[in-house]
């Protein structure tokens, strides 16, 4: 299992690199669970990373097909290996599938090897979101590379307070059976990482646990180093192949 750290700027990215992170994720923590940084800030993060690790980018929760396709295109073209999109507030699975397909078209149009990651929220209740099981089906039908199980409310309970180990393991297994890369996040602490690893996740994503001062603080190399040590996975390749020897493209 690899460690993904969400960074808000180039300084965060440098600290994450120094701490031995596997994947760097560009995200604005002030703008919600999937707040997108500006393309200018993403460019600064990419320059700081200098191809030493793969980059992912959160692009928000989709509401409009044209807008999400454009955002997916822009971030894929700017160098994001993974583009993450959520569907908070979308009550219809059919609508979510159309939005996911639009995001996928944007990624493909960029002409890169980028992949789409669709995000399910463990704390989403109808009509505020699509359930995690449904998101796996949508991801598989729309050609997504992977799925992320996260929490929408960062002031609420963490993921493992919402879903038990057995249910998480079953969700991960179902996603893997569909050929999807699987990431898990949602206020994860260092103590949570062994449980997430045991559930079979390919990637564990953190923000607050990597920061001094919590989610809105700054990433520190020491915190990242401690977290990476509990994941025990080597960095993923810059252009990950989800059909690699592990079956899911990354070592777990």
Which of 1, 2, 6 lies closest to 206 in space, CA to CA?
6
Once rounded to an integer, what is the mean pLDDT over residues 112-127? 86
The single residue of 84, 154, 187, 239 carrying the catalytic annotation is 84
Which residue's entry shows tokens 């996040």?
A: 185
Q: What is the pLDDT of residues 44-79, one digit of tens each?
A: 999 999 999 999 999 999 999 999 999 999 999 999
Give yes or no: 239 in active site: no
Which domains are seen in the chain, by residue range? 2-231 (3.20.20.70)
pLDDT band, very low/low/confident/very high, at 148 (cuts 50, 70, 90): very high
Contacts of 2 (CB under 8 A, 6+ apart): 22, 23, 202, 203, 204, 231, 233, 234, 235, 236, 250, 251
Q: With contact defined as beta carbons under 8 Å apart, do 80 and 42 qualify?
A: yes
Give yes or no: 187 in active site: no
Specify the pTM: 0.90
């Amino acid at each position: 299992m690899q460690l993904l750290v969400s960074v808000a700027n180039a300084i965060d990215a440098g600290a994450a690199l120094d701490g031995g992170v596997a994947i760097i994720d560009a995200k604005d923590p002030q703008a919600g669970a999937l707040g997108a940084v500006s393309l200018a800030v993403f460019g600064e993060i990419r320059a700081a990373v200098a191809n030493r690790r793969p980059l992912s980018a959160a692009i928000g929760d989709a509401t409009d097909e044209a807008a999400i396709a454009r955002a997916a295109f822009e971030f894929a073209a700017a160098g994001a290996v993974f583009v993450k999109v959520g569907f908070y507030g979308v009550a219809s699975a059919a609508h979510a599938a159309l939005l996911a397909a639009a995001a996928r078209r944007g990624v493909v149009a960029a002409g890169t090897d980028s992949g789409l990651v669709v995000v399910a929220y463990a704390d989403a209740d109808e009509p505020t979101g699509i359930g995690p099981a449904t998101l796996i089906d949508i991801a598989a039908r729309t050609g997504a590379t992977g799925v992320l199980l996260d929490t929408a409310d960062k002031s609420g309970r963490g993921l493992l307070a919402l879903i038990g180990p057995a249910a998480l393991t079953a969700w991960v297994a179902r996603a893997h059976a569909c050929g999807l890369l699987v990431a898990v996040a949602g206020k994860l602490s260092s103590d949570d990482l062994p449980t997430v690893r045991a559930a079979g996740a390919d990637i564990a994503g953190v923000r607050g646990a990597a920061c001094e001062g919590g989610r809105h603080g700054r990433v520190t190399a020491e915190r990242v180093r401690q977290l990476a040590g509990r994941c025990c996975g080597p960095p993923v390749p810059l252009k990950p192949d989800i059909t690699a020897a592990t079956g899911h493209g990354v070592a777990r």
